[in-house]
Structure 1
Amino acid sequence: MNGTKGVSVERTDEEKRLVRKIDLFLMPSIWVLYCFSYMDRTNIGNAKVAGMNSDIGLSSTQYFLTIVVFQVGYVIAEVPSNMVLSRTRPSRYIPLLMLLWGTVAALMSLVKTPAQLLGMRFLLGVMEAGFSPAILFIISTWYRRHEQSKRFMAFLSAGILSGAFGGIIAGAITDSLDGAHGIAGWRWLFIVEGVATVGAALVAPFLLLDYPATTKRLTPRQRELAIARLQADGITSSGEHGEISEVSHWTAFVHAVSNWRLWLLCVGYMTIIGCYSLSYFNPTLVRGLGYSGAEAQYMTVPLYMVAFAIAVPTCILADRIPSYRPVLATIVLLLGSLFCALTAGIYAYIPRYVFLCFINSAIWTANPLALSYASVSLGPLHPETRAISLAFINGMGNLAQIYGSYMFPDKDAPKYLTGFGTYAGLLAVGAAVYSCAFVAFRRSPFKARM
């Protein structure tokens, strides 16, 4: 194979050093960037409990629409963005996206009407859409099959901890800056977090890696080894000139969407991310358990800390038994379905709070299991086809948040039977889908198609 002949792909000391170097550059960078991404998309929930609704006259239905229009913008832009990414330098493209969405996030502080907020949320979705699918593709082009679950978990842990500490940060900002210079606390929340995102975007180009064959942060020998590692697992990588024939954007798109396996992965992921909308309502749900104001925001922290404590060891286990990732996902989703059903039937404050912890844990644990399973399953595909496929999976998952966002209207408070009952059903369906995929993909896996 061109550029990799004679390179050993056994787990040598040289490879271990290479993996440590890749981790050192890649994982902290994307972790920090995802923290900003997650805070900027979900701080609307913190702004809601800090008084935004009453200040601009936002109704319950209009709040749901702010979540929906973000997802619509996100879904529209994801696939085109990953098409561009597969042929550009991630170390330049991702910071550009970040600069754009950070600016929009900060400008949300200026909204005065629900219509303005809806417009800004749609724009935020479009600007931020390329980030998550870009990271999914980058991880799939740097790590082998048995290395991906814990890396996806490391990436997504930023969302978990952002959800946890985002509540603390939001509470601190809205408490300490409310009324400063005549500006409401929730407006300061958008300003501070948006400006911080722009600052991080300016630093990101100096930290991010490009692709194994093109990055300038590795030596020629390390680039050869990085490519050989992937080829040992049958994973294609961008930039391998002479190894992978170029295909047009349209051909790659058709190859992706015409594969029935992709749509099975999409349906499974939609059941998980449809329930992901719970993150937008955690402050509201916790407030319904008897907490208020900043206290409600602080009490969301344990929901995410428990999720982190459960998700990390589960993903480490998944990398030790990579062939059984969908089995682990099935078990996790069934447990999540059970806790949703219990929450729909038990209304005492303490049990409900405990159940919320485990529902969040099931969603956050199933997410990296599903992504790593999709990534390794798609490994043999042409890089651009894989990039489009991962964007489709992520996009369809975000599309599912549209209906997930309507499951917790204020009129259902404090029981929210519709929401928890629907989530119980969704997670059960997800368990069935991943069970089917486990059997089907063993018999008929993804295959390279040039």
Structure 2
Amino acid sequence: MSLLDNGQKPSLDMKEDKNAPVVGEADAELAEALRNYVPGTREEKQLVRKIDMFLMPVLWIMYILNYVDRTNIGNAKIAGMQKDLGLTDDGYAWVLSIFFFGYLICEVPSNMLLSRSRPSIFLPGIMLVWGALSALMSVSKSYGALLAFRFILGCVEAGFFPGVLYLLSCWYTRAELGKRFAIFYTAAVLSGAFGGLLAGAITANLDDAHGIRGRRWLFIVEGVATVGVALVAFFVLLDYPATARQMTPEQRRLASVRIIADGIASGGQNRRRLSHRDALVAAVSDPRTYAFILLFMLDVGAGTISYFIPTITLTLGYDTVTAQYMTVPIYAVASVCLNVVAAGIWSALPLVLSWTSGVVSLPPEKRAIVLAMVNAFGNFSSVYGSRIWPSRDAPAYRVGFGVTAAFLGAGMVVAALMPLFVKWVDWRGTKAEREVLAEEQE
């Protein structure tokens, strides 16, 4: 029996239930709601505002701390870490790079797990762990220990960013996703300003407090703050449309219906799923995956400058504390610009990810893996990107700025050609994909 007579991709988004008649009744109710769905109603607008309220603020704060905990290594470096641990420029580059090896290894498996688990537990859970790890980095007394902490931190943080992207794609339509991705991503650029302010305050006021160096307090304070926010997120964050405890039954039904009508199947649903193996094969077989990986790698590779802004400002003649504060205007201006751009033309990174989610929307298990692959391989560009800013090039850093400009230029070309490529490929999917989607339409 067809769930949708008009050819829409069905997505029965509800909790598992051993009582078959109840499930069938719920299916019938959802099918009826789909037939009667009218977009843009007052009820839908109220629902979107409620979704925004429960998702965007908490995810935004979580991402600020995610980025702060990842990039505070640059602030710690100029606060004395390099001297204390005897780090060479090459050693510091490896401290940055090792994070992304862990990130690359664990990102796809993490999103595969998320597509079959509760986001309200999974995302705060990994945040709790990385916050604790960040605080424990303060006890690093050797280069080897710092490398180990950074690698494990990369493994744990790997699931957060692509997990958030997947969760947002389960709640918002294609027309709504780009703006939410862009708003969410402002946390990354604003975290630089916030991190600079916090690093300056900590290194200026807590250095040698209780016999602990300022750069160690930096890890402790920011790690503990992350743990605190994670504990709150357990009670605030939404799960999937069918299972969100903060929504009424009518709101859960409407949330499911509007996503189905938009052609994006939601997670956490009572339907046939692609197996882990089939979803992985579907993702790696799709040539569009690699086109988006290339585009994202170029954008992220240019972004490695963020790890060296404190170092660059220090080489301009500022003392350590002032150098921390001098990072603030850069990120503050970037955040304002990103907010302006989000109103119309979105900034590159969130646009690429929104674009990916819209092009590779079904099945959701494949979408989760593709988003993770794009983000993982894109962030792996930070491994070589971190090596284009050696201190011997200070203060001009011609190689670093030149390579960054080249990445951005190449990214513009790839982005311009992407619509033609996607249309030319006209990917039909693997056999397993076609079977799952065909079964949903029966």
The CA distance in 1 between the partners of 2:102 and 2:200, in whole Å, is 28
- Is 1:438 equivalent to 2:419 in the alignment? yes
Distance, in Å, in 2 between the alignment partners of 1:446 and 1:188 is 52
Q: Give the whole-Å Cα distance in 2 for the aligned partners of 1:432 and 1:230.
A: 32
Is the contact made by 1:77 and 1:130 (CA closer than 8 Å) also made in structure 2?
A: yes
TM-score (norm 2): 0.88
1:329-361 Cα shifts (integer Å, max 9, x gaps) = xxxxxxxxxxxxxxxxxxxxxxxxxxxxxxxxx
2:107 equivalent in structure 1 = 78
Counterparts of 1:84 and 1:239, CA distance in 2: 12
* Secondary structure, aligned partner of 2:179: helix
Taking a change above 3 Å as real, the CA distance of residues 368 and 287 of structure 1, as seen in their structure-2 partners, is same
Q: Which amino acid aligns with 2:233?
A: A
2:310 to 273, 283, 288: 283
* Equivalent position of 1:356 in the other structure: none
Shift of 1:444: 4.6
Which residue does the alignment assign to 2:199?
170
1:42 paired with 2:71, answer yes
Give the corresponding residue for 1:395. Answer: 376
- Answer with 1 or 2: which has the greater Rg: 2
Question: How far apart in 1 are the matches of 2:398 and 2:224?
Answer: 39
1:66 aligns with 2:47: no
Q: Could you say if the C-alpha distance between residues 281 and 219 of structure 1 is closer, same or farther in structure 2, counting changes exceeding 3 Å?
A: same
Deviations 1:357-390 (A, max 9, x none): xxxxxxxx211111111121122x1111110000
Please tell me whether the aligned partners of residues 60 and 409 of structure 1 are also in contact (alpha carbons under 8 angstroms): yes
* Residue of structure 2 in register with 1:128 after alignment: 157
Matching residue's letter, 2:320: G
CA distance in 2, matches of 1:4, 1:107: 51
Determine if contact 1:377/1:446 at 8 Å carries over to the other structure: no
Q: Which amino acid aligns with 2:376?
A: G
In structure 2, C-alpha distance between the alignment counterparts of 1:399 and 1:33, rounded to whole Å: 22
Q: Percent identity?
A: 50
**Which residue, out of 235, 258, 265, partners 2:292?**
265
CA contact (8 A) 2:162 2:371 kept: yes
Partner residue, 1:237:
266
Q: Deviation at 1:291?
A: 2.0
Instruction: Specify every segment of 5 or more residues in structure 1 that has no aligned partner in the other structure, as ranges.
Output: 319-324, 326-364
**CA deviation digits over 1:124-146, x for unaligned, max 9?**
11111110110010111111111
Q: Distance in 2 between matches of 1:297 and 1:444?
A: 47
Q: Which runs of 5+ in 2 are unaligned?
A: 4-26, 437-442
What amino acid is the match of 1:436? L
CA contact (8 A) 1:150 1:312 kept: no
Amino acid aligned to 1:287: L
Q: If the length of structure 1 is used for normalisation, what is the TM-score?
A: 0.87
SS at match of 2:396: coil
Q: 1:232 to 1:313 in 2, by over 3 A?
A: farther
Residue 408 of structure 1 corresponds to which residue in structure 2? 389
In structure 1, what is the Cα distance between the partners aligned to 2:31 and 2:413?
41
> Could you tell me how far apart the structure 1 residues matched to 2:130 and 2:166 are?
20
Aligned residue number for residue 368 of structure 1: 350
Residues 220-274 of structure 1, C-alpha deviation per residue, up to 9 Å, x if partnerless?
A: 11111111211222111112314xx212100000001100011000000000011
How many angstroms does 1:27 deviate by? 0.3
Q: In 1, Cα distance between the equivalents of 2:339 and 2:427?
A: 28
Q: Which residue of 2 aligns with 1:378?
A: 360
Instruction: Report what 1:187 is aligned to.
Output: 216
Equivalent residue number for residue 234 of structure 2 = 205
* Contact kept in structure 2, 1:177 and 1:185, CA below 8 Å: yes
Deviation at 1:288, TM superposition (A): 2.4
Range with greater deviation from structure 2 (103-112 or 414-423): 414-423
Looking at structure 2, the residues matched to 119 and 103 of structure 1 have their Cα atoms a distance apart, in angstroms, of: 14
Return the alpha-carbon distance in structure 2 between the equivalents of residues 174 and 293 of structure 1. 9
Distance change >3 Å, CA 220–CA 129, structure 1 → 2: same
- 1:321 aligns to what? none
The answer (yes or no) to whether the contact 1:29–1:204 under 8 Å persists in 2 is yes
1:119 matched residue in structure 2: 148
Superposed displacement of residue 4, structure 1? 4.3
The CA distance in 2 between the partners of 1:181 and 1:292, in whole Å, is 24
Instruction: Confirm or deny: 8 A CA contact 2:99 2:151 kept in the other structure.
Output: yes
* Match in the other structure for 2:402: 421
CA distance in 2 between counterparts of 1:438 and 1:416 reads: 35
Whole-angstrom CA distance in 1 between matches of 2:80 and 2:419? 47
Q: Within 2, Cα distance between the matches of 1:134 and 1:246? A: 18
State the shift of 1:289 in Å: 2.6
Structure 2 counterpart SS, 1:187: helix
Q: What is residue 358 of structure 1 aligned with on the other side?
A: none
Given the alignment of the two structures, is residue 101 of structure 1 paired with residue 83 of structure 2, yes or no? no
Q: 3, 8, 13: which one pairs with 2:37?
A: 8
The answer as to 2:279 corresponding to 1:298 is no
Listed as ranges, the matches of 1:330-349 within 5 Å are: none
C-alpha displacement of 1:447: 5.6
Contact 1:70–1:125 (CA under 8 A) maintained in structure 2: yes
Secondary structure of 1:181's partner?
A: coil
Return the offset for 1:435: 1.2
Asked whether the 8 Å contact 1:78–1:392 carries over to 2, the reply is yes
Instruction: Choose which of 224, 232, 245 in structure 2 pairs with 1:216.
Output: 245
Structure 1 distance, partners of 2:106, 2:250, is: 37
1:371 to 1:51, Cα distance in 2 relative to 1, 3 A:
same
